[in-house]
Structure 1
Amino acid sequence: MHKQQVIIYPEYSADGLGSAWAAWEFFGDGAYYRPYRYNDPMPDFESGAEVFVLGCGISLGILFEAAINAERIVVIESQSHYEEKYLDQVSAQLVPHNLTFIIDSSRSACVMAWEFFNHAKTPLLLEMIQDHNQGRFSIETSSDVIAALNNRLPMDLMEFGGISLGELRSEGKALNEQTRRIAARLMKARHAVCLGDVVGMAINAPPAFANDLGLMLSMERGSFGMTYHFNGERNAWLCSLRSNGSVNVGLLAERFGGGGNERAAGFSVEGGASALSFLGYANLVRIDRSES
């Protein structure tokens, strides 16, 4: 009997879609593709399936439980805190034999997924996603390409595979110019914020401005920049952190149950729509407008 393959990837994420497409280039329609939203339950799969979890940030406990019914589970992760937790579990001999982790915080899940499934040169679009997600911006026009790609989400895997980089560059350039103009105006509402014992700058702003505003704020303060907004569907505050390299925001995000890499990370805070529920989160997040 043919084995079932299940691909689980982050929904509404360029990195997630790129990871799923890397698997699709290998399996095609022979696998099941399941989009996943952070903190949701593990998607269902048939007993004995091969399951590939690509950059979803699913907790170890859920993965251990899922491994009971799977032939094997392969987890590809770019969040550094997974490696520490995984190694702790390995030393305690608690990791199921059929659960494998591939973890590298210096790369994005889509690039690792491509290298895992395919024996070919990594496509430029995936390298651009990695360049943007890692906060490197070392590939010319990657910021424009990813801005346009994010603007087109959601899209199916066939559309992703046939996308034109030239069209994305042109479309993204216009989007980024507009974003930068709006970001400059939003900067007037910036304020100081303390995460744990590190003080940075923050702004209540839509997620589309996370990179531009986050970097502008981090450079102004010399530490980190944070954008945050309330998501009514998830009943949670979603916080994005950016750094110019002076602060490891991945470690900061881990303190609040999130994760990421040194330059780009995030976490969520569940609670009501009132700003007070966010500002009073276990006394861990403190905003001081007198410093702005």
Structure 2
Amino acid sequence: MVTQIAPLVIYHGTGCLDGFGSAYAAYCFFKKEQGVDAEYLAVAHGDVLNLEVGGRDIYIVDFSFKRDVLSGLCDKANKVVVLDHHESAQKELEGLDDLYSNLTVVFDMARSGAVITWEYFHQVPVPPLLANIQDRDLWQFRIPDSKHVNAALMSYPYEFELWDQFANCNDHLKTLIIEGRAINRFRDKMIETYKKKVIFGKIAGFTVPIVSCPNVITSELLSELAIGHPFAASYSDKGDKRGWSLRSTKEGENVASIAATFGGGGHPNAAGFGVSITGQTFEVLPE
């Protein structure tokens, strides 16, 4: 009897709804349709990974690695599939699938990672939950109340079984809208509070507004702060790493290109990167 090696699904973590939505789309295929227990791994730009990939099928969703890292995966894995929509990643990997017969790359800037992944694995329409996630992730807001659906969804654990309930019951979706209205009312107050904490500094030579703020208000806050500036930036620390988020208006700078210079990536108007802050001390002494 041949033992099947579990597929590995690598997805954009750090609390990203689109990233986990992509993982959920894969889960619906592997677990619910195929009865296969895949392995799911959340990652962020700057993570150093030591993966056992020999002979495995690897799916990288709403995320991508640098060209040399992905080449290394292709050398060892049975199959590698990249499903992404970030402009910087598309440029980084251009032509690589011509060099590896076991590599499939799908990029589409008009769809979010979750929708790309769903439509790759499934023949049935995209669940409304994932359509709502795409609506915010692409900053379109064409679906009424998608802002509230996303806000409420962020307040719940990122668990496949729970999301399955949200995705398959209209009453649950209505509940998210009601909950999201209250959450956004509070978030709007938070945004006004953090606007007062802004300082100006230089990133990649550009003088921009910078603020340290919770991830739950990053996109909305920076989108407002970026008006009239090349872009706006926020940061948050976790251990010895600092994560940076960049947002710009359509008239502003291409922040994907800027993030790429730091080893990160993203979209022209929304990107991020991570840096090490090793060497800083957390010991505070009185004068």
Question: Where on the TM-score scale, by shorter chain, does this alignment land: which range?
Answer: 0.7 to 0.9
Counterparts of 1:128-167 in structure 2, within 5 Å, are: 128-155=132-159, 157-163=160-166, 164-167=172-175
User: Residues of 1 paired with 2:163 and 2:65: CA distance?
Assistant: 24
Letter in 2 for 1:61: D
1:25 corresponds, among 25, 28, 35, to: 28
Report the Cα distance in structure 1 between the residues aligned to 2:217 and 2:52, rounded to whole angstroms: 34
Map 1:133-212 to 2 at 5 A. Answer: 133-155=137-159, 157-163=160-166, 164-212=172-220
Partner deviation per Cα, 1:42-88 (whole Å, 9 max, x = no partner): 5434x432221112332232222222332211011222122222225
Cα distance in 2 for residues equivalent to 1:152 and 1:80: 29
Change (3 A) 1:34 1:264: same
> Counterpart in 2 of 1:250?
256
| CA–CA separation in structure 1 for the residues paired with 2:279 and 2:19 | 28
Match of residue 284 from structure 2: none
**Structure-2 separation of matches of 1:123 and 1:273:** 46
Q: What secondary structure is seen at the aligned counterpart in 2 of 1:30?
A: coil
Give the counterpart letter for 2:84 in structure 1. Answer: E
* Partner residue in 2 for 1:239: 244
Name the CA distance, whole Å, in 2 between partners of 1:44 and 1:15: 26
Moved >3 Å (runs of 4+)? 1-4, 272-275
- Aligned residues with identical type, % of pairs: 26
Residue 35 of structure 1 is matched in structure 2 by 41
Take 1:87 and 1:246, find their aligned partners in 2: how far apart are those partners? 26
Query: CA offset at residue 181 of structure 1?
Result: 0.6
Q: Provide the rounded CA distance (Å) in 1 between the counterparts of 2:142 and 2:230.
A: 21
Cα distance in 2 for partners of 1:171, 1:42 equals 40
**Any gaps of 5 or more consecutive residues in structure 1?**
276-292
Residues 111-148 of structure 1: CA deviation (Å, up to 9, x unaligned): 10011000121122112212212222232222211121
AA paired with 1:262? P
What is the aligned partner in structure 2 of residue 261 from structure 1? 267
Q: Contact 2:61–2:84 at 8 Å: present in 1 too?
A: yes
* Rounded Cα–Cα distance in structure 1 between residues aligned with 2:136 and 2:250: 14
Could you report, residue by residue, the CA deviation over 1:87-117 in whole angstroms, capped at 9, with x for unpaired residues?
2546xx6x32211211223322111001100
Name the SS of the counterpart of 2:80 in structure 1.
strand
- Structure 1's 97 and 117: CA in aligned 2 closer, same or farther, altered over 3 A? same
| 24-33 or 171-180, larger mean C-alpha shift | 24-33
Kindly report the root-mean-square deviation, in angstroms, between the aligned alpha carbons of the 2 structures: 2.2
Unaligned runs of 5+ in 2: 167-171, 282-287
1:2-151 equivalences under 5 Å are: 3-4=4-5, 5-11=7-13, 12-28=15-31, 29-38=35-44, 39-41=47-49, 43-45=51-53, 47-87=54-94, 89=96, 95-151=99-155
- 1:273 Cα offset (Å): 7.5
TM-score w.r.t. structure 2 length? 0.84
Instruction: Count matched residues.
Output: 267
TM-score under structure 1 length normalisation: 0.83
Match of 1:283 in 2: none
Q: 1:17 to 1:69 in 2, by over 3 A?
A: same
Q: Partner of 1:285 in structure 2?
A: none
